[in-house]
């Protein structure tokens, strides 16, 4: 049975990955700003722990999304090349049948 992700065009998956990456970056920026606002309320050591843990989590998520984006780009290039070859083969077969 086909996976639902296999039925979505590669461009849509890539756009979705880029959107998730943008959202993660936005969340990171928002979190950093919120922590900067609260910096006066938190002890310095707890701020470092919260900030470092959240930043590490978001960094890992961003890296995973970047990796997925690269895989999707490679897959879309491969699919495009395969479609080009298939189109060429079809044109050749049609011209041979017409002759």
pLDDT tens-digit readout, 30-74: 777 667 666 655 555 555 555 677 777 888 888 888 888 888 888
Q: How confident is the model at residue 85 (pLDDT cuts 50, 70, 90)?
A: very high
What is the separation, in whole angstroms, between the first and last Cα of the chain? 40
Transcribe 56-86 into DSSP letters. Answer: HHHHHHHHHHHHHHHHHHHHHHHHHHHHHHH
Q: Global pTM?
A: 0.41
The better pLDDT of the pair 19, 44 is held by 19
């Amino acid at each position: 049975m086909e996976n639902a992700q296999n039925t979505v065009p590669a461009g849509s998956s890539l756009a979705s990955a880029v959107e998730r990456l943008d959202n993660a970056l936005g969340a990171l920026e928002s979190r950093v700003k919120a922590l900067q606002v609260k910096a006066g309320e938190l002890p310095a050591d707890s701020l470092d722990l919260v900030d470092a843990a959240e930043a590490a989590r978001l960094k890992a998520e961003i890296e995973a999304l970047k990796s997925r984006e690269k895989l999707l780009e490679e897959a879309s290039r491969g699919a495009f090349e395969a479609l080009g070859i298939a189109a060429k083969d079809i044109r050749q077969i049609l011209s041979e049948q017409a002759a």
